[in-house]
Amino acid sequence: MASKHSSERLIQQLQHQGINNAMVLEVLRTTPRHLFIDEALSSHAYTNHALPIGYGQTISQPYIVARMTEALLEQGNLDKVLEIGTGCGYQTAILAQLVPQVYSVERIKNLLTKAHDRLTSLGLDNIHFHYSDGHWGWAENAPYQGIIVTAAPASVPEALLEQLAVGGYLIIPVGAQNSYQVLLKIIRTRRNHYEQYTLDEVSFVPLCQGIS
């Protein structure tokens, strides 16, 4: 019951912050965020804050998860989405309840294994996992109508632009850690043409290269 009340308070906060998509709000309301963090942090599960998940990574602030997901859904034709940075699997779980197929890439093996087990236990069977460097995307399954990136590169990886379908949306934070970062929406309007919009100032962990 405490989790339910805390979840409702969180949803009210998100609405006050401008999240309007009813489907996004409902999925955040019903997804058990406490299952994606360590038990020691469970009392903070439904606060509007990022929390550590180990390996120098975090579970994103619920507002940012909602903001990025809402922006992605504006594309309106999402059969297949690529997520860069599975992490604990929370953003993955939100996407998997809103789009038919989610392809998720993670560079840290232990995080990927835990996320896979957690999401499988929740019955989310439309997620495809890949252990790889997120800068490379997942070319074998491209193009994607939507791509969402949950860590910040210094600049937009070329591979992600190439793997975006014409008409597709890329939602990505860009900028150095502990420096100015912005959340971008990039639309591939034609084969060799992209439009870019700034959505928010943000603070993300860096999108690192290599695997571990």
Q: What is the pLDDT of residues 144-199, one digit of tens each?
A: 999 999 999 999 999 999 999 999 999 999 998 788 999 999 999 999 999 999 99
Matching residue, tokens 């309106």 = 76
DSSP E strand stretches across the chain: 51-54, 57-59, 80-84, 101-106, 127-131, 144-149, 164-174, 181-190, 193-202
pLDDT recorded at residue 181: 97
DSSP annotation of 35: G
pLDDT recorded at residue 4: 75
Q: Distance (Å, rounded) from C-alpha 14 to C-alpha 61?
A: 11
Q: How crowded is residue 140: how many other Cβ atoms within 10 Å of its Cβ?
A: 8
Per-residue tens of pLDDT for the chain, all 212 residues: 446 778 999 999 999 999 999 999 999 999 999 999 999 999 999 999 999 999 999 999 999 999 999 999 999 989 999 999 999 999 999 999 999 999 999 999 999 999 999 999 999 999 999 999 999 999 999 999 999 999 999 999 999 999 999 999 999 999 987 889 999 999 999 999 999 999 999 999 999 999 99
Question: Which among 43, 60, 104, 132 is annotated as catalytic?
Answer: 60
Matching residue, tokens 């996320």 = 115
6 annotated active-site:
no
pLDDT recorded at residue 1: 40
77: helix, strand or coil: coil
75: helix, strand or coil: coil
- Asked if 129 contacts 119 with a C-beta cutoff of 8 angstroms, the reply is no
Task: Establish how many alpha carbons lie within 13 A of residue 12's alpha carbon, considering only the half-sphere containing its beta carbon.
Answer: 6
Span 55-202: which CATH code?
3.40.50.150
φ/ψ of 177, rounded to 5, equals -60, 145
